[in-house]
Structure 1
Amino acid sequence: MKTDQDKKNTTIPLVTLTLLFFMWGFITCMNDILIPHLKELFSLSYLMAMLVQFCFFGAYFIGSLVYFFISYFYSDPINKIGYKNGILLGLLISAVGCVLFYPAAEYVQYFLFLSAFFILGLGFTLLQIAANPFVALLGDERTASGRLNLVQGFNSLGTTIAPMVGGYMVFELFAEGESISGEETKKPYLVFAAIFILLFVLVKIVKLPVFKNAQEETKGLGALKFPQLRMGALAIFCYVGAEVAIGSFLINFLNLPETIGVSEAVAKNYLALYWGGAMIGRFLAAISFNQNIPVVKKALYMFVVAFTVFLLIFGMVNLTFEQLWVFPVLILLNLLMFYIGKSIASRTLLLFATINVLLLILAVSMGGQAAVWMVLAIGLFNSVMWSNIFTLSISGLQEYTSQGSSLLVMAILGGAIVPLIQGAIADFYGLQISFLLPVLCYTFIAWFGYFCHKNKLDTGGSTLMSSGH
């Protein structure tokens, strides 16, 4: 890769990209707020309610598929227009998607809501294709996981704040008494559209590095020659599918009398813990994968950051310490797994995915508060998955990096398919038993982590050839 400025001058670009990650994390988590809201408004089954995620994440697949075909028959679009212009276009499409929530609420039509989710998803598709590899390129390839985990930490900050701020806007600030009419979504999404326009202006005026591949013409299926990319795409499918499904059903899961049977207003606080756990884990990963910090200092920084962020979350949620004292214990378990992972992306991915398999099996077999905490702990161990899978998958792709990125973003289709299947299982066999589906997803992710660790992809994949042999 070549750049028009020193890669060390990356602070302003990284801060700018961090704002993007925060905002799309916030909006994505708003889906979890709106699903139970729309389910009640339109008297939907679990399966029909999951069409929200099907349309939103299905847009990732459609958008990425179009992108891939363009790169296959012509040349890589991002390599032609640049990462910055790709981000700008993604922001404009996202703003349009937010505006479309106004007519959807005005006419109270579920189809219009689904259309708005789809357009919003298209905007996020382009942002994902451009921004994720852009962050990875802002420095040494060996520390790419650390950088991506850092910005993903702020993405998780958005998903943590969304249940509180977004829940307040929808259920209280813009709610019309006790009735549900759809009006509650009008003003919030107009605010979100305005924020995307402001971000567009910011990105437009900020000078970002210009990365160009040594070979601009990347026609064909070059990215698919790499086995880590092929397996990584399926791992992304599984990860996003599992994470979205759990987040989408969490409020309904907490409503169950078999668990704690709380209202939506209370459940949104626990949803903040789920996403807050991902935020804590991602900030810890940013420290853990930083090779420039001595081991002792690294352990100290991770401990301080973990419990500082926990106190911030504790200050945001409307829960007592007696209600969430288990969470600090889970954080300690998370820190222990980071220590065992030894700052190796593939090894940590393997450990975290295995822990999630065990947590979900316990959640299905237990009841009450214990089942709730098993599910909430998933957030902590989801933390490194996107960043580690993404960076391991594009390791060594060189001129095929953007094409590989589009394939990985295409795999976000998992967020459309897995929740839909889990919704069908929940309708027929019960919501709690449906959480066995994500077990299969995390099992494959664990296998991908093992594959990458075995083939030393953390150090550039020296034992893998691009031919896939």
Structure 2
Amino acid sequence: MTQQEKQVNYMGPFITMVFLFFIVGFLTTANTQFQGPLKETFLAEVGGLKNTFATLITFSWFLAYPVCGRVGSSWISKYGYKGTLMRGLLVMVAGLGLFFASSYFTVFFPEANWHAGGNVIPGGFFIFLLGSFVVGASATILQVVINPYLTACHVKGTQAIQRLAIGGSANSVGTTLAPYFVTGVVFGGLAMEDIRIDQLMIPFLVLIVVISLIVFLLMKLSLPDIQGTRIEKGEKLEKSIWSFRHLTLGVCAIFCYVGVEVCIGANINLYAIEMNYASPALMATLYWGGMLVGRLVGSSLSKISPRVQLVVTTVSAGALALLAILLNNPWLLTAVGLFHSIMWGAIFTLSVAHLGKYTSVASGVFMIGVVGGAILPLLQGILADVLGSWRWSWFIVLLGEIFMLYYALIGSRIRQTAD
């Protein structure tokens, strides 16, 4: 960053990015929370395939990350950071419109169903899956902007990983509030069996209005570009983005990180149920709560380098995972959230170091690794079935922590720069 850019006041843009990180976290979790209600409404006549079809909602969302990450980086080159943000939010409005259309279509065209054997699937459910992919695409594009912008914008008294931790804290607040929004606001606290499809329409219309208002406000805000972090329109890159070894291994590291994060968050309940614990849901709550606490703590660590933070957190998380396996104790896994909290920021900061004008393209490539959140939990479930227990399946988490430790110590060392 040049001396002139350091004199620009990035506090307003910084706050804007943190707020958008909140929106991404909120909608990501809200999307997963619709699995239960839609299982009872759209999929009431699906029979034995309810769980399979319900999980397609989350799969559709995560599928957008590897597919649309490069779209976001190419838009940054053409339209800049602000232009890409606005277009990403408009994509989000379109996706929310598809959510609304799925409910409308099912209510007013009840005979438009797809029959597979004895299973009846409303056509509106497939519209919802498309909406989930489109909103997931918008979240991908927003993160392609947010991550490098938070890394590069100069806010006095902070370093890049600290700004990403603050953004991550806002993201965690969004993930915490989303379940209450879905159950309390969208469905008014109704039991699953009392939910109707037509109740989905009004909340989605409200969200469309809110996001449209954010687009309007963003048009009025000053969001200065950050020179040297993206290629100019029409400019060609001399090197392949994959030629930067620390970035390529960073994508692998983020694949492991998101995968093991979701493994614990999504599957710890099933492990607790297998162990006959009285309150399995409490474990997931403590895990995600630890993520929020860890990010709040991480936002104050201005003197500790990303590499040191990643070494300490991966060693700690790996030790807890190993103890959980040896002692067959799921409670130990809840504490892993505290250490998972700042890994995203540490890995991203190390991955884009010294990439210069390749930074925005790298951010798009980085999103490919997020698909680990769909793949590793599925592999863990398969492994648990094969082994007949969830206990030994947590070796997947341990292996993920080991790879991230390797990345912190060796893989993140820079062998080639953009210069």
**Same-fold call, TM > 0.5?**
yes
Question: Which residue is 1:406 aligned to?
Answer: 364
Is 1:466 aligned to 2:417, yes or no? yes
Segments of 5+ residues of structure 2 without an aligned counterpart are 107-121
Distance 2:54 2:211 in 1: 26
Pairing of 1:48-447 with structure 2 (within 5 A): 48-66=53-71, 76-106=74-104, 107=106, 108=122, 109-139=124-154, 143-169=159-185, 173=188, 175=190, 178-183=193-198, 185-213=200-228, 216=232, 217-219=235-237, 221-254=239-272, 256=273, 258-262=275-279, 267=281, 270-288=283-301, 290-291=302-303, 343-366=304-327, 370-371=329-330, 373-428=331-386, 429-431=388-390, 433-447=392-406
CA change 1:153–1:227 in 2 (3 A) is same
Question: Which residue is 1:325 aligned to?
Answer: none
TM-score normalised by L of structure 1:
0.74
**Cα deviations by residue, 1:363-408 (Å, 9 ceiling, x for unpaired):** 44556xx51x323222211111111100110000011111111110
**Cα deviations by residue, 1:214-260 (Å, 9 ceiling, x for unpaired):** 86324354322221101101111111122233323345555x15242
Distance 2:238 2:376 in 1: 30
Distance 1:6 1:192 in 2: 36
CA contact (8 A) 2:183 2:190 kept: no
Distance 1:103 1:436 in 2: 42
Question: Which residue is 1:336 aligned to?
Answer: none
Distance 2:199 2:383 in 1: 30
CA contact (8 A) 2:71 2:364 kept: no
**Cα deviations by residue, 1:67-97 (Å, 9 ceiling, x for unpaired):** 57xxxxxxx4312210011111111111222
Question: Which residue is 2:115 aligned to?
Answer: none
Distance 2:411 2:268 in 1: 31
Secondary structure of 1:212's partner?
coil
CA contact (8 A) 1:46 1:424 kept: no
What's the offset of the Cα at 1:2? Answer: 6.0
Distance 1:193 1:92 in 2: 10
Secondary structure of 1:100's partner?
helix
**Cα deviations by residue, 1:32-79 (Å, 9 ceiling, x for unpaired):** 4234444566354665543333211111111124557xxxxxxx4312
Segments of 5+ residues of structure 1 without an aligned counterpart are 69-75, 292-342, 456-460
CA contact (8 A) 1:129 1:409 kept: yes
Question: Which residue is 1:28 aligned to?
Answer: 28
What's the offset of the Cα at 1:20? Answer: 0.3
What's the offset of the Cα at 1:198? Answer: 2.4
Distance 1:140 1:177 in 2: 46
- Count of residues in correspondence between the two structures: 392
CA change 1:188–1:446 in 2 (3 A) is farther
CA contact (8 A) 1:346 1:450 kept: yes
Distance 1:103 1:354 in 2: 47
Secondary structure of 1:211's partner?
coil
CA change 1:220–1:246 in 2 (3 A) is farther
CA contact (8 A) 2:323 2:332 kept: yes
Question: Which residue is 2:114 aligned to?
Answer: none
Aligned residue type for 2:165: N
Is 1:449 aligned to 2:400, yes or no? no
- More divergent stretch after superposition (184-193 vs 233-242): 184-193
What's the offset of the Cα at 1:9? Answer: 0.6
Distance 1:182 1:377 in 2: 38
Distance 1:189 1:443 in 2: 42
What's the offset of the Cα at 1:277? Answer: 1.5
CA contact (8 A) 1:349 1:385 kept: yes
Secondary structure of 1:208's partner?
coil
CA change 1:358–1:5 in 2 (3 A) is closer
Root-mean-square deviation (Å): 3.1
CA contact (8 A) 1:239 1:441 kept: yes
CA change 1:391–1:119 in 2 (3 A) is same
What's the offset of the Cα at 1:262? Answer: 4.2
What's the offset of the Cα at 1:349? Answer: 0.8
Secondary structure of 1:260's partner?
coil
CA change 1:5–1:356 in 2 (3 A) is closer
Aligned residue type for 1:276: G
CA contact (8 A) 1:102 1:186 kept: yes
